[in-house]
Amino acid sequence: MAGEQQATNQSVERAAAVLAAFSDTRALRVADVANRAGLGQSTTSRMLATLEALAYVERDAAGTYRLGAAVIELSAAALNQHPVFRAGRQPVQDLAGRTGLGANLSVLRDWSVFYLANFEGPDAPRAATLAGRHNPLHATGMGKCLLLGSTPEQRRDVLGELQSFTRHTIAAHDPLDDELDRTRERGYATEIEELAFGRACVAAPVHDADGLVVAAVSISGSLSVIDLARRERELSVQAIETADAISVTLGYTSPAEVGTVPPAGRS
């Protein structure tokens, strides 16, 4: 019985590894999936055949695979069951419409920014959705907001050495501490070319009924369009008002000390 259970667990783990191989937008060959999943080609081929029969992957005429309709169904169900998504989808969509820029909603997951939703205004088009993607906490506006509930000790312990993505990235903990203090005082964060050149954003934290920071909202776009030198006050007010509206829906009733994020990074 124990052997059968172990074999079943192994099969589930392999199937999950195969699905996780499709983490970007391009279709994959069997060899590509096997390499990403760390499995043999024959095992991968069998897994893909089973997943194709269950509609979790689809195969095109060229013999390459992409994620299938069953994954879309589960993803939609997962989003619709998430309380932050339910509370934030419409306000964030409205934010994109008002500003003409990108509007994003994220939570803390595995100590990274995890995008639940993003909407593009006409001035900030994107070729692919950000939903489901991860970004580093220290190099993004939303990440700085999500870090507000953590202590300096937690950040140093969990984040370790901070990676530099551009010459503008805050890549040391002491200046990050100072930036988070500034974010806490003014109620919003900014990010200018810290993760990628030519991009900027303004972000604000979302609180739950206990006052914990559980999510973040951001307005993002190209440097020339977001124009923070001229529009920072306008956009920060928009971000804060949207975050506050979501917080109220989640049960937040009054300003309080920023709550401490649980060590596991609750989302």
**Do 171 and 164 touch, CB atoms closer than 8 A?**
yes
Q: Distance between CA 82 and CA 10 in Å, rounded?
A: 29
* 173 pLDDT more than 90: yes
In the chain, list all ranges with CATH 1.10.10.10. 10-73
Asked whether the CA dihedral 154, 210, 131, 121 is positive or negative, the reply is negative
> Which one-letter amino acid corresponds to residue 37?
A
How far is C-alpha 9 from the geometric centre of its chain's CA atoms? 28
Give pLDDT, residue 261.
46
In the chain, list all ranges with CATH 3.30.450.40. 82-250
Give pLDDT, residue 78.
87
Q: What is the pLDDT of residues 223-263, one digit of tens each?
A: 989 999 999 999 999 999 999 999 999 999 865 444 444 43
Q: Does domain 82-250 have CATH number 3.30.450.40?
A: yes
**CATH architecture, range 10-73:** Orthogonal Bundle (1.10)
Q: What is the pLDDT of residues 207-227, one digit of tens each?
A: 999 999 999 999 999 998 999
Q: Distance between CA 16 and CA 10 in Å, rounded?
A: 10
